[in-house]
Structure 1
């Protein structure tokens, strides 16, 4: 994967106001894989003091979508057609890290997955898995 393709991912990510609101950042971009990290800030917690499932889902969906985009020509974007989340454990920690991967790339549909881990005191715990379908669309 070349720098032009990586820059496209980073520019597209920077244009997402939702990711800015969450304080999320891309920490890795490779072909078929994107990692996004987000702090668990006070404004993203649920009533019991854990990171909200909406935060988990948002960064998991974005990581999976951008992983799909790494496999597509530069003139295309992606949108989520459907995505399912299994919440495995409470989002306890300082930050979440979502790792999106491409299961099956395609010109019409890309099947993707994402794992989300919570990090606390140097320990990483898987808290969610997502699986879905991304649709390539004109950029």
Structure 2
């Protein structure tokens, strides 16, 4: 598959600025570790506060990372005057999310004018290996001509 050309040459700065406006990502401790046309990688170090009763990273955390990796992979291919929202996703949990860090890697499968289909794999880094613990298929909507910042009246 050929590497797509982003319509916004400054997509990296736009994606990183949008990600930085997500207090939830800051709360979790997640960061973008790689970004390219149609791709996004997000990493989250293990934190006990993010686990469920068995000590695995919570499925909600896994889903959040995969959703963000999908959304921002899609966002790299949207015009500069766009915003991005998830329309739907399907998450398959394949193994317990345990290790030193989670890495979510999103990749656009098909970019459309309004809807983009994206897939993500979430891996758990442990002992030098990165087994896949979850996969996601998502549909992402591009809201063209709409600011990616907060709506008026919201913080």
Establish whether TM, by shorter chain, passes 0.5: yes
What stretches of structure 2 of length at least 5 have no aligned partner? Answer: 1-5, 148-155
Displacement of 1:51 in angstroms is: 0.7
Structure with a larger share of its residues in strand? 1
Tell me the residue number matched to 1:49: 55
RMSD of aligned Cα (Å): 1.1
Residue 136 of structure 1: how far off its partner (Å)? 0.7
In the TM superposition, 1:1-139 aligns within 5 A as 4-137=10-143, 138-139=146-147
Which protein is bigger by CA-based radius of gyration? 2
Q: Specify which structure has the higher proportion of helix.
A: 1
Give the whole-Å Cα distance in 1 for the aligned partners of 2:17 and 2:128: 30
Query: Cα deviations across residues 51-92 of structure 1 (Å, max 9, x unaligned)?
Result: 111110001000000000011101101100000100000001
Runs (4+) off by over 3 Å: none
What TM-score, normalized by structure 2, do the two folds share? Answer: 0.87
Q: Distance in 1 between matches of 2:20 and 2:67?
A: 15
Gap regions ≥5 residues in structure 1: none
- The TM-score normalised by the length of structure 1 is 0.96
